[in-house]
Structure 1
Amino acid sequence: MKRIINFILIGSMGLFSCKKVIDVIPQSNPNTTTYYSNPAEVRAALNGVYNGMQKPLFYEWQVSELRTDNSKQGQPGSTASTNRDLSDLDMFTPNTAHQGVYNYWLNTYNNIRNANIVLDKLGVIYDPAAGTISFADIAIAISDADRRQLAGEALFIRGYHYFNLVRLFGGVFLVHKPLVPNDGKTMNRVAAADIYKMIEADLSTAASSMSAAKFAQIPAATLGRANSWAAKGLLAKVYLTENKKTEAITLLQDVITNSGYSLRPIYADIFAIDKEMNSEILFAVRYKAGGLGLGSPFANTFAPLGTGSQVINGDGDGLNYPTAELDTATNGDTRKATILSVFGTGTAAKFYVRKFFSQVILVDDAENDFPVLRYADIVLMLAEAQGYTPASIDLINSVRPRAGLPLYNATTINSVAAFEKALSKERRIEFAFENQRFFDLLRFNKTMTTITIEQTMKDHFTNEYFTHYRLYVAPAPTLQELYDATTPDRMLLPIPQREIDTNTQLTIPQNPGY
């Protein structure tokens, strides 16, 4: 049964000011000073941190999948500001005040704050100079095993958030403990290397602190919570992103050999709402339908616009629109029926994302969980880390039978370029619309020799220009203008302008190209 989170502890940052100072806290009102007196209260607050992962995920597809060859803004003729904002992300031309970018940034830092409060109460201290984490004495009566498990879960979530931030924005603000508002004004961006140093510390500590029970031995009550295997898998992706292939290989082999997780024989079963937290899901952001405020919005968000209740109750928004390229790439692949679908025929046909679809009673209240890390990811990352070898080809082949596709051999993959093309395509389809493609393409710039994100996206603009981008309301971009915006600088998002403008004590540098 899914957790139903009915308590969310709000963090300690002040949101309002007042001329009078009231220094007596009503004893009936829990706060970050009086709360966290026992393990149950810490667990309740940690549940709030898990729940806090939903808000940034609502915007994550906009800043990741939409900026790939899998997705496009589906209404090129629209003049609505929300659609134009999506178009700007799609074409790598967001301005520094982009609302979606700011919403993602704000919600991510809000949940980092929540995680930091839990970590502080558990006595977890990060030393930025040494890049290490230590545990101080605390007053809470809790066993060391429980304390480390709870701390590991919070560290995993903090590491996950910072991993997304550093890949999307580069060097950001390194907030590793609770702050009061004025403290934030004295904190500037740090180098990306310093962010990665803390991510590594968070995830390595989480991996050594949390349960390492094999999948079959995980109690039903804790399914869905982070564990040692999730931390090792995510840390391996961090290492691979940093091009630390040797370190990544060690962790990936450990997960494959010892975790008890495995591939599901039927691709659709991975995402089925009656098979959640199955053997392929190392970690997912969880949702619960039923009018609790915890349902997934993506079934409605991604369903085709203007179809009434013919596809989903309450109509769809038609966003995260699958590209014609992806439609073609999935022909003959049995995964296609799970990944995308089409409503209507001929020129009226509307493609839409099917992967997170279940029928809803209430709008934006679907049951579907959203995978963050899957066993197939572990397998294909190991192939990527090992490079062009027979063993790596075997790893790619391990996910192809359930796609109904023939296996590769030494004839079909006979060079580094052929291997990299096959692996890139396999990951593209396997994880389509799981917000992996953009991060994959960024990483390929380091881990591969023949694939770059810039050239991939230029090819995408070429392929889709006459059927999509040239139809934008005047002035429609030229193909050359799309090429010109596809630069290494523009692979990073702008630091939200509000962060720069509201700080009166420091000059916050903007990312180059904005």
Structure 2
Amino acid sequence: MKIKYYIVAFASLLLTGCSDFLDLTPISEASSANYYKNTSDINSALSACYGSLQGTYQYGEYFISLMELRSDNVEDINPGGAAGMFYFIDNFTATSGNNVVRYAWKELYNQIYRCNNVLANIDVVTDAALKKQYEGEAMFLRALAYFNIVRLWGAAPLILKPVTAIEAKGYGRSSVADVYRAIEEDLEAASGMLTSAYDDDNLGRATSVAAKALLAKAYLTQQKWSAAATLLDNIVKDYSSKYGLQNTVADVFDVNQEMNKEILFAVRYSKSVLGEGHGYNDYFKDKSVIDSKLLASYGNTDDRKAMIEYKKVDANNNVIAKYYDTFDATTAKVGFDLPLLRWADVLLMCAEAHNEVAYESSESSKALNYLNLIRKRANAVEYKVTDLKDQSAFRKAVLEERRLEFPFELHRWFDLIRTDTAIEAMSKVGFTITKNDYLYPIPKTEVDLIDNPETFPQNPGYN
């Protein structure tokens, strides 16, 4: 299966008849049972699971607002009309009725619903190797959905099997700890089921290294430093023969080198197929949206600055160089893939985890070496031990390096939250926020439908 081209008919089938609550209700007990008859059906169902990632309500558009515009990297300058729902996200004035919040929530639970159906019907796959692979992929994609949910909303309904509409209404918000436990269990299992790489026809499927890297990110988010350091060390040891840094940052984002050795997992797109492209660059058409302080943070020799400068596509559109692709007039989209996990992230997570376990003031420090590998590739000035004299200084350096390495890759807001530096960072760009702003409101439609503040309360600050 070519992951880049999803089976739209099956995805549409899965959307039919879903309840308002969580969008997790099966089409019907009979139709679900009748559909999953063989390996091909499960493969098609998995295509729909991957297809969820592509859509407008996830990485195709809305996640850009929830995960990037919210941060100090970007500013939304269009407060009017329908675009106002994005402006309110950026300016910390979104309410529980905001449609970006509402539809992102619904689509994430749609993704979980699809994965649950695959897992519940996996026994129709008779080939043991394929069954193992498909099960691992569904677990990875379900874990990814829950990882986004718990970081965006905190405590959330934890549903790990297909449910009826009546059953769905009985699910309250599980604790953050319970959600993370489920994420870890899925990713640990997936890591042992998935292969480390695929042939060209299957590029884009989840791999064992992607599952382990996502698990490491979950550990880091929970400040499980030792577990993260051990896992990341093993990733570097076990996978460095197949994965690694590209020679230049520009090579990472070259549309002619997609799914290169640095990409561990990406949402795949095609501008030439109707419905398979995305409008990511719509957010960056106007040069004033990128924060000037971000641009000023790059050193004079740092190649990465050029990656967030603008290139002209046509008379009306500019795009950032990192995501440059020619515009397809027929589909009105661009088609570059959106990396979610790459080798540079593994190295910087490893540097962070080792520093948190124990700061090491040595030029041979593993953490310092990983940090400098990223800077060296970018032609930035490498750090010396004397530049980072204690754990706190090193911590700040890693956070800043992540900002310089991953702008517009949907990491910055989550990095600020998990390091508890969002209040300080946003104050520097003119926003006074509180810890209530670390989470988004639960959609009003869901709160009203359940109508049980004890088991399904609204997040603080949004009542």
Range into which the TM-score falls when normalised by the shorter chain: 0.7 to 0.9
What CA RMSD, in Å, does the superposition of the two structures yield over aligned residues? 2.4
Alignment of 1:8-19 (within 5 A): 8-9=10-11, 10-11=13-14, 14-15=17-18
Asked if the contact 1:353/1:433 (under 8 Å) is kept, the reply is no
Cα offset for 1:4? 2.0
Residues 223-277 of structure 1 show CA distances to partners (whole Å, capped at 9, x for unaligned) of: 2110111000000110111111111112111111111210001101111111011
SS of alignment partner, residue 251 of structure 1: helix
Number of residues paired by the alignment?
434
Q: Which has the larger radius of gyration?
A: 1
Matched, 1:340 2:309: yes
Q: 1:178 aligns with which of 162, 165, 171?
A: 162
Counterparts in 2 of 1:141 and 1:444: CA distance versus 1, 3 Å: closer
Change in CA separation of 1:5 and 1:264 when aligned onto 2, cut-off 3 Å: same
Displacement of 1:168 in angstroms is 0.9
Counterpart-to-counterpart distance in 1, 2:19 and 2:228: 45
Q: 1:169 aligns with which of 150, 153, 159?
A: 153
Is 2:427 aligned against 1:509?
A: no
Cα drift, residue 439 of structure 1: 0.9
Q: Does the 8 A contact of 2:278 with 2:334 survive in 1?
A: yes
Name the CA distance, whole Å, in 1 between partners of 2:225 and 2:16.
Answer: 39
Q: Report the 3-state secondary structure (helix = DSSP H, G, I; strand = E; otherwise coil) of the residue aligned with 1:249.
A: helix
Give the TM-score normalised by structure 1.
0.80
Moved more, 282-291 or 352-361: 352-361
Shift of 1:82: 3.2
Match of 2:74 in 1: 71
Q: Counterparts of 1:128-167 in structure 2 under 5 Å? A: 138=123, 140-167=124-151
Deviation at 1:328, TM superposition (A): 1.1
Q: Secondary structure at the match of 1:150?
A: helix
Match of 1:68, SS?
coil
Q: Deviations over 1:394-450 (max 9, x none)?
A: 1110011221211111222222232122211110010100000111111223xxxxx
Instruction: Call closer, same or farther: CA 1:439–1:504 in 2, change over 3 Å.
Output: closer
1:413 and 2:388 aligned: yes
Give 1:51 deviation, angstroms: 1.0
Choose the corresponding residue for 2:238, options 244, 254, 258. Answer: 258
In the alignment, residue 368 of structure 1 is paired with which amino acid? F
Q: TM-score, normalised by structure 2?
A: 0.88
CA distance in 1 between counterparts of 2:234 and 2:179 reads 25
> What is the match of residue 24 of structure 2?
none
Q: Which residue of 453, 456, 464 corresponds with 2:422? A: 453
Alpha-carbon distance between aligned partners in 2 of 1:301 and 1:72, rounded to the nearest angstrom: 10
Q: Is the 8 A contact 1:14 1:181 kept in 2?
A: no
Q: What residue in structure 1 maps to residue 325 of structure 2?
A: 358
Query: Where does residue 92 of structure 2 map in the other structure?
Result: 92
The aligned amino acid for 1:361 is D
Indicate which of 44, 64, 86 corresponds to 1:61. Answer: 64
Q: 1:105 to 1:417 in 2, by over 3 A?
A: same
Shift of 1:293: 1.2
**Contact 1:171 1:195 (8 Å CA) reproduced:** yes
Verify: 1:247 aligned to 2:227, yes or no.
yes
Unaligned segments of structure 1, at least 5 residues: 18-24, 123-137, 305-317, 446-451, 462-481
CA–CA distance in structure 1, aligned partners of residues 39 and 382 of structure 2? 51
Residues 1:278 and 2:260 aligned together: yes
1:433 corresponds in structure 2 to 408
User: What CA deviation, in whole Å up to 9, does each residue of 1:352-389 have, x standing for no partner?
Assistant: 53322211123542120000100000000000001133
Counterpart in the other structure of 1:492: 439
Counterparts in 2 of 1:173 and 1:419: CA distance versus 1, 3 Å: same
Q: Which residue of 2 aligns with 1:38?
A: 38
Q: Is the 8 A contact 1:322 1:340 kept in 2?
A: no
Counterpart Cα distance in 2 of 1:492 and 1:195: 15
Contact 1:284 1:372 in 2 (8 A): yes
In the aligned structure 2, how far is the partner of 1:5 from the partner of 1:112? 17
Q: Secondary structure at the match of 1:189?
A: coil
Q: Sort the Cα spacing of 1:91 and 1:16 in 2 relative to 1 into closer, same or farther, 3 A.
A: closer
Task: Give the direction of change, closer, same or farther, for the CA distance of 1:268–1:242 in structure 2 (3 Å limit).
Answer: same
Of 393, 396, 401, the residue aligned with 2:376 is: 401
Q: Secondary structure at the match of 2:428?
A: helix
Aligned counterparts of 2:114 and 2:408: Cα–Cα separation in 1: 27
Preserved CA contact (<8 Å) 2:216 2:232: yes
Cα gap change, 1:343/1:224 in structure 2, threshold over 3 Å: closer, same or farther? closer
- The question of whether the paired residues in 2 share the 8 Å contact of 1:67 and 1:89 is answered with yes
Stretches of structure 2 lacking an aligned partner (at least 5 in a row): 21-27
Q: Aligned to 2:270, which of 288, 296, 307?
A: 288
| Structure 1, 350-359 or 270-279: larger mean CA deviation | 350-359
Amino acid at match of 1:95: T
1:375 counterpart (319, 343, 355): 343
C-alpha distance in 2, partners of 1:59/1:239? 25
Structure whose residues are more often helix by fraction: 2
After superposition, the Cα gap between the structure-2 partners of 1:368 and 1:141, relative to the gap in structure 1 and judged at 3 Å, is: closer
Name the % identity: 34
Q: Is the 8 A contact 1:291 1:365 kept in 2?
A: no
Take 2:451 and 2:397, find their aligned partners in 1: how far apart are those partners? 51
Instruction: Give the distance between the partners of 1:340 and 1:121, measured in 2 at CA.
Output: 48
Contact 1:322 1:353 in 2 (8 A): no
Contact 2:311–2:321 (Cα < 8 Å) also in 1: no
Give CA-to-partner distance per residue, 1:466-508, whole Å, 9 cap, x none.
xxxxxxxxxxxxxxxx42xx11111110000010112357762
Q: Tell me the equivalent position of 1:384.
A: 352
Q: 1:322: Cα distance to partner? A: 1.0
Do structure 1's residue 326 and structure 2's residue 294 form an aligned pair?
A: yes
Determine the structure 2 residue equivalent to 1:22. Answer: none
Q: Name the SS of the counterpart of 2:326 in structure 1.
A: coil
